[in-house]
Amino acid sequence: MTIGLYHPGHSPLHRLSAGTKVTGLLVASLALFLTPSVWFAFWSVPVAFAVYLSTGAPFRRLMAQLRGPAILLGLVLAFHLLFGSVADGLLAVARFATLILLASAVTLSTRISEMAELVEWGLQPLRPVGVNPEKVGLAIALAIRFVPLIAEEFRHIREAQAARGLAANPLALIVPLVIRTLKSADELADAIEARGYER
Return the residues of window 52-91 that contact other proteins according to CB under 8 A.
68-69, 72-73, 75-76, 79-80, 83-84, 88-89, 91
The binding track of 110-129 with respect to other proteins, each residue x by CB under 8 A or -, is: xxx--xx--x---------x
Span 126-165, contacts to other proteins by CB under 8 A: 129-132, 135-136, 138-140, 142-144, 146-147, 149-151, 153-154
Q: How many residues bind other proteins (CB under 8 A)?
A: 82
Cβ atoms of residues 88 and 80 within 8 Å: yes
Nearer to other proteins (CB atom), residue 15 or residue 132: 132
Question: For the window 20-39, what string marks contact with other proteins as x by the rule CB under 8 A?
Answer: --x--x---x---x------
C-alpha 69/C-alpha 65 separation (Å) is 8
Question: What is the C-alpha separation between 160 and 48, in angstroms, rounded?
Answer: 47
Give the CB-side neighbour count of residue 71, counting CA atoms within 13 A: 4
Distance of CA 139 to the CA centre of its chain: 17
Catalogue the long-range contacts made by 62-68 (C-beta closer than 8 Å, 24 or more residues apart): 65/104, 66/100, 66/101, 66/104
CB atoms within 10 A of CB 78: 11
Residues numbered 166 to 195 that lie near other proteins (CB under 8 A) are 168, 170-171, 173-175, 177-179, 181-186, 188-189, 192-193
CB 155 within 8 A of CB 149: no
Q: How far is the CB of 187 from other proteins (least distance, A)?
A: 9
Closest separation in Å from C-beta 23 to other proteins: 12
To other proteins, the closest distance from the beta carbon of 59 in angstroms equals 17
Cβ-based nearer residue to other proteins, 60 or 199: 199
Residue 16, C-beta contacts closer than 8 angstroms, at least 6 positions apart = 109
Q: Which is nearer to other proteins, 4 or 56 (CB)?
A: 4
Q: Which of 2, 17, 20, 23 binds other proteins (CB under 8 A)?
A: 2
Strands (E), 10-165: none
